[in-house]
Amino acid sequence: MTGVTQGTWGCAPPPGPILGQKNVKTPIPPLQAPRGGGVRGVGETAPGQGCTVPLSGRGLSGRAVHAGRCSPSPTSLPQRVRGRRRELDYISQQAPRPPRRGRGGASPGRSGAAMAAEWSVVLLTCQRGGCVSAFQRELEARRLRGGLGPRPPPLLLAVEDPWARLGSGGATLNALLVAAEHLSARAGCTVVTSDVLREARILILHMGRDFSFDDCGRAFTCLPVEEPGALAEALVCNLDSLLGTMTHRLCVGSPPGVWVCSTDMLLTVPSAPGIVWDGFQGVRVIAVPGSQMYARNHGVYLTDEQLSLFFDIVLCMARGMTEEDFVKGGGDASARNARSVLWTALRAFPLSMACIPDASYDYMTMSASDHIRSLTLLPGSASHLRFSKTAHSHVDRPCLLEDGSSVTNCLLEGAVRLAAGSVIQHCHLQGPLEIGPGCLLSGLAVGSSPALQGCPLRDIVLQGHHVRLRDLPCRVFTLTGRLDDWQSPAEEATYLNVPWAEFFHRTGIREGDLWDAETPRRSRCLLSARLFPVLHACEALGLDDVLWLLAPAAAAGKRLACWRTAWRMSWQELLPCLDKAAELGARRALFFLQGQRKVRAVLLGHRDSSLLPLTRSAVHEGYHEAMLGTLDEVASMAGDVGIAARALACIAEVLGCMARGEGGLRSGPAANREWASAFGRLESGDIAGGVRELAAERQKWMSRPALLVRAARHYEGAEQILVRQAVMSSCQFVTVGQAELPPLGHWVQVACPARLDLSGGWSDTPPITYEHGGAVVDVAVLVDGCRPIGARVRRISEPELRLVSLGGTSRSEAVAELVCRELEHLQDYCQPHAPGALLKAAFICTQVVQFPSQKPLQAQLMESFGGGFEVHTWSKLPHGSGLGTSSILAGAVMASLYRAAGKAASTESLIHAVLHLEQRLTTGGGWQDQVGGLVPGIKIGRSKAQLPLRVEVEKILVPDSFTQTLNNHLLLVYTGKTRLARNLLQDVVRNWYARLPSTVQNADALVSNAEECAQALRQGNLLLIGKCLDRYWQQKKCMAPGCEPLAVGRMMDALRPYVYGQCLAGAGGGGFLYVLTKVPRQKEALHQILAKTEGLGNFSIHSIAVDTSGFSVEVVGCDLKDGAHPGEDMAV
């Protein structure tokens, strides 16, 4: 390996108490901790020189990783310690969120290593006066939105340095003492004790110095990254990247200890860094490759007397260092005293190094060119980050953004053209604008847009800053050139990329305007130049106050006088006045403003993007009202029931998130009378009025979790009203003709097969079926040689409706009877568990009975039919069988009812009529069941992603004799477990409306698998069909987790060696398992196998056969007591 390497290290101190107290400068009290831990850090090493400068360090009692950059000089290590040194630290910028623990990679939602470091404490150190409360809020925000994993650290602490210019070593010791204090308090101790550090895992992150290109520092510098799999949507900062790297990559498997990491670099570490921690003790430096030139350009420099993490704490453990040389290198007496204590405490610990060849380390310099390049170039292949051109931004004209440009947390309206090599962050701009190459724009509000129009922008850095002058909040703008050097003397440097002399000549500005006369020539630099107006006496400050500095000489004169009269400050003077809390707040506000645009674009554009992560963030950050307002607007203005339904479902998610897991289950009743008026408006088609009433009622239910959950239920109820309206658009495909009216008392009997869904189920379920499109392969089957589902209807002389449920077959005794003589008796037709609800809904949907109506029921019946109706239904299949019983029974009832009323409907009409009925019944089913049971043989049903919803059925032509082959290889196994599909349906629809990526991908896979299964059937390939069945079962489990009971899993495991494929029928959760056996006619063999399998309970095995004839409709006589009954003992 050539060049310089950067490394990480660790150490473990001997047991003992922690002495001293915070804010004591001299001497720094020694911290002692138990053996067995380690200290880890990151540094650089020059090959062949035997020296290591840590980038991260572990200290005292635990591990510590410090990620920073220090370059070795060509001299020996002891010679390098002649002065006080510190690493070049800078702050990073903004913070989105650390990764979820237990997942691989550093970012939430991204797969990779399964392990993660389990931190006891995470501390973020900042400079004195560095707005520690704002940074504490950022850490807590990450905990709330799940960015710190399912088990986040018990302690998240932002720690302010006890005094200015403390140094990285002093900041580390102070942070460790703060951690010890908090851990001691949590342990119930009354004094600080090192015992709490014995098993602690502590991560200390140093923010370091200010950063010219981000007011919140390097830690909070936003990266152009989006994480689609994250629990909550948020900006991704360098801090989040480092937390992910440390938690999920670098620190995995390390023993208890202290890791210390600076935040002034972009660190890339492979997912498996290959560090061995077995038996580790002491200090370990983890080295990453780098060139010597890079190390020299971004190395260490001499500073005043500070305690350095590397040249004080780590250096005393390096080989070749003597106590005399180490102590003498301390400078003044207090520093030498501190070094003497450190030597005594730490010298005994071994210092080792581990090198990660594939890692990289990119220091965030003060060069604008370097910074722009780091945000526009893709990170290395080992990185867990994936940069994108636009991240968390709404851009009206994305085609105007050239490749190689970067836009993060922005709202760009109109024509905003951005050249390659330019970056825009945290800006709200309106076009027309043209931004040339080499630019960095940050922190500009929409009011800045007019000033930018027509302004030549090329190779410049233009930033808006939140500044607080005592108690006065201000907005200040700074303008510099991409090539400018902040600290070089004016005679040798540039401003706005031209020599200072040329700038003075063009603008008329004089040196005396920028620097005091007593300022030494070598100190006159860009950093100290009073260039930037802060206040005007009589007018507001604007972007023009700095943009004129770019103007040609003719135009500059007009602005010079105004500029001279303004109160101006240098960047050096502005730094202590930067209001970091206000800046972070402004970024949040802009993030959610562009988030609102995203909500509109996703919903109105029918996009399969999940809004749930953004919803969670809005709730955690207090922007839920803005989110709710946007969703109300979309729902009321869309003019599309599908869009409005999804918007209402999103409101339910917001309310559910606000309950924060309390208040009860999301699934439940939604029948409170206070919401009835709003529901009524939606039912009548007044969507806008209904949404307004829902929003007004919602305000009364926001005070506590229990009310929020109930409000969410009612919004899901409102959403289902609109889904029903969308599905009922299929009524236009129901065509009913006239037929001969059967004689009074003659039965019209219908017998139907069951159905097996071989692939594609769930894709037929509203709203998936009309928003995504569906495809399901179904087979109509006889069970044990007969059609198990049936209904019969006859007219009777009495003007009433007799509803009878028989016990299993058409000849069974009645198990339930109900007589309806008034319209009021039908009003519970939409309550699925009400007695006779399905039959009542069938009378209404076939329009045999008009409901609601001013005309009484008896009058309607006598007028139209000369009497009433008697209906009998039966099914040999148990509830929750998974064989489509309810929908097929609805089809049988409607077919017999149409015929008994003197009407005729085609099979296609019945398919769509059952869709209508199930929406009126509020069971919300799809169309696969009735397709499977009403259309004979093997077929594939399809629906397009559009409204009105129409189902088209294609019969699958199989090879000769293949139907019999299927009959010989297919078996049904009743599992003894039942679960109604409705119990699964609510979760599936909720996940679909949330557009969870796994749900969307699974919907795609369901449809493609259905087409593959259809092709396998056409080929007569049992092996391929079996693979489709197995794949289908995995897809069902993905769509509805928990649909495989433990006993069913055991059953499937036992049968797996003997079958090509197997799957639970229908939604899963129980019912019937169907298997495609490798050997024909295996009913008895499988029974013996399952009988020997423990934990199955009651099961039974049934033969099935493809029904190639389809359901039958017959008009039979008045007396059914004698003779064979179709559908019971034989197939009709």
Q: What is the DSSP string of 587-646?
A: HHHHHHHHHHHHHHHHHHTT-----HHHHHHHHHTT-HHHHHHHHHHHHHHS--HHHHHH
| Angle at 510 (CA atoms; ends 543, 561), nearest 5 degrees | 50
More confident residue, 267 or 688: 688
* Residue 822 burial (CB count, 10 A): 11
pLDDT digits (tens, 9 = 90+) for 47-57: 222 222 333 33
Using 50, 70 and 90 to split pLDDT, how confident is the model at 317?
Answer: low
Residue 965 has pLDDT above 70, yes or no: yes
Cα 1096 to Cα 956: distance, rounded to the nearest angstrom:
36
- 8 Å CB contact between 309 and 66: yes
Q: Per mean pLDDT, which of 81-85, 635-639, 932-936, 1040-1044 is the most reliable?
A: 932-936
Torsion of CA 988, 989, 991, 993, to 10 degrees: 160
List alpha helices for 192-260, DSSP H.
Answer: 238-245
Cα 409 to Cα 584: distance, rounded to the nearest angstrom:
12
- pLDDT at 327 (0 to 100): 77
Helix, coil or strand: residue 288? strand
pLDDT digits (tens, 9 = 90+) for 651-682: 999 999 999 999 998 888 888 999 999 999 99
Amino acid sitting at position 416: V
Q: Where is average pLDDT lowest: 438-447, 548-557, 806-815, 1050-1059?
A: 548-557
695 closest CA partner among 741, 651, 641: 651
Rounded to a whole number of angstroms, the CA Rg of the chain reads 37
Helix, coil or strand: residue 1051? helix
Place of tokens 């403003």: 593
Bridge-partner residues for 703, per DSSP?
none
- pLDDT at 650 (0 to 100): 97
- pLDDT at 216 (0 to 100): 94
- pLDDT at 1051 (0 to 100): 93
Place of tokens 């922008």: 457
- Residue 382: exposed, middle, or buried by beta-carbon count in 10 A (0-12, 13-18, 19+)? middle
Residue 74 has pLDDT above 60, yes or no: no
- Residue 301: exposed, middle, or buried by beta-carbon count in 10 A (0-12, 13-18, 19+)? exposed
357 closest CA partner among 382, 384, 377: 382
284 closest CA partner among 578, 546, 57: 57
C-alpha of 533 from chain center: 43
Number of residues written out for the chain? 1132
- Residue 773: exposed, middle, or buried by beta-carbon count in 10 A (0-12, 13-18, 19+)? middle
Contact residues for 852 (Cβ-Cβ < 8 A; gap 6+): 823
Amino acid sitting at position 365: T
E strand spans, 131-249 = 155-160, 201-206, 219-220
Take residue 466 and report the two structure tokens written for it: 């939140």
Task: Read off the DSSP letter of residue 249.
Answer: I
Cα 1124 to Cα 1132: distance, rounded to the nearest angstrom:
10
- 8 Å CB contact between 1036 and 1043: yes
- 8 Å CB contact between 942 and 952: yes
97 closest CA partner among 132, 144, 65, 61: 144
Using 50, 70 and 90 to split pLDDT, how confident is the model at 1076?
Answer: very high
Contact residues for 295 (Cβ-Cβ < 8 A; gap 6+): 4, 6, 44, 46, 69, 70, 71, 72
Residue 96 has pLDDT above 60, yes or no: no
Give backbone dihedrals phi and psi of 225, rounded to 5 degrees, phi first.
-135, 140
Judging by DSSP bridges, how do beta strands 360-363 and 265-268 pair with one another? antiparallel
Q: Where is average pLDDT lowest: 77-81, 137-141, 272-276, 1086-1090?
A: 77-81
527 closest CA partner among 299, 222, 266, 209: 209
Cα 696 to Cα 1099: distance, rounded to the nearest angstrom:
53
- pLDDT at 302 (0 to 100): 34
- Answer whether 0.75 is exceeded by the pTM: yes
C-alpha of 891 from chain center: 41
Q: Where is average pLDDT lowest: 285-294, 447-456, 798-807?
A: 285-294
Task: Read off the DSSP letter of residue 250.
Answer: I
> Which whole number is the average pLDDT over 592-616?
95
Cα 491 to Cα 820: distance, rounded to the nearest angstrom:
101
pLDDT digits (tens, 9 = 90+) for 367-420: 999 999 999 987 665 567 788 999 999 999 999 999 999 999 999 999 999 999
Q: What is the mean pLDDT of the chain?
A: 84
Cα 205 to Cα 652: distance, rounded to the nearest angstrom:
38
Residue 483 has pLDDT above 60, yes or no: yes
Cα 397 to Cα 526: distance, rounded to the nearest angstrom:
36
Largest CA distance in the chain: 121
- pLDDT at 306 (0 to 100): 53
- 8 Å CB contact between 800 and 858: yes
- Residue 1109: exposed, middle, or buried by beta-carbon count in 10 A (0-12, 13-18, 19+)? middle
pLDDT digits (tens, 9 = 90+) for 205-263: 999 888 999 999 999 999 999 988 888 999 999 999 999 888 888 888 888 888 988 89
Residue 872 has pLDDT above 50, yes or no: yes
Using 50, 70 and 90 to split pLDDT, how confident is the model at 1002?
Answer: very high
- pLDDT at 26 (0 to 100): 27
- pLDDT at 61 (0 to 100): 28
Using 50, 70 and 90 to split pLDDT, how confident is the model at 64?
Answer: very low
594 closest CA partner among 447, 409, 445: 409
Cα 70 to Cα 68: distance, rounded to the nearest angstrom:
7
Using 50, 70 and 90 to split pLDDT, how confident is the model at 14?
Answer: very low
- pLDDT at 168 (0 to 100): 81
- 8 Å CB contact between 59 and 256: no
Take residue 460 and report the two structure tokens written for it: 């410049």
- pLDDT at 286 (0 to 100): 75
Using 50, 70 and 90 to split pLDDT, how confident is the model at 635?
Answer: very high
- pLDDT at 292 (0 to 100): 67
pLDDT digits (tens, 9 = 90+) for 101-135: 333 333 333 333 357 888 999 999 998 876 899 99
pLDDT digits (tens, 9 = 90+) for 882-895: 899 999 999 999 99
> Which whole number is the average pLDDT over 457-477?
94
Q: Determine what percent of the chain is predicted with pLDDT higher than 70.
A: 84
- pLDDT at 249 (0 to 100): 87
- pLDDT at 86 (0 to 100): 27
Task: Read off the DSSP letter of residue 262.
Answer: E
- pLDDT at 490 (0 to 100): 93
- pLDDT at 788 (0 to 100): 95
Amino acid sitting at position 540: A
Residue 305 has pLDDT above 50, yes or no: no
Residue 485 has pLDDT above 60, yes or no: yes
Contact residues for 670 (Cβ-Cβ < 8 A; gap 6+): 710, 713, 714, 716, 717
C-alpha of 948 from chain center: 31
| Angle at 803 (CA atoms; ends 800, 806), nearest 5 degrees | 150
- pLDDT at 311 (0 to 100): 58
pLDDT digits (tens, 9 = 90+) for 545-571: 999 999 886 667 778 989 999 999 999
452 closest CA partner among 498, 414, 494: 414
Cα 374 to Cα 370: distance, rounded to the nearest angstrom:
6
Amino acid sitting at position 1111: F
Take residue 316 and report the two structure tokens written for it: 């005393």
> Which whole number is the average pLDDT over 306-314?
60
932 closest CA partner among 881, 884, 878: 884
> Which whole number is the average pLDDT over 840-858?
95
Using 50, 70 and 90 to split pLDDT, how confident is the model at 271?
Answer: confident
- 8 Å CB contact between 311 and 335: no
- pLDDT at 1122 (0 to 100): 40
Cα 913 to Cα 952: distance, rounded to the nearest angstrom:
14
- pLDDT at 377 (0 to 100): 81
Contact residues for 748 (Cβ-Cβ < 8 A; gap 6+): 742, 792, 793, 794, 896, 899, 900, 1113, 1114, 1115, 1116
* Residue 128 burial (CB count, 10 A): 12
- pLDDT at 486 (0 to 100): 93
- pLDDT at 558 (0 to 100): 76
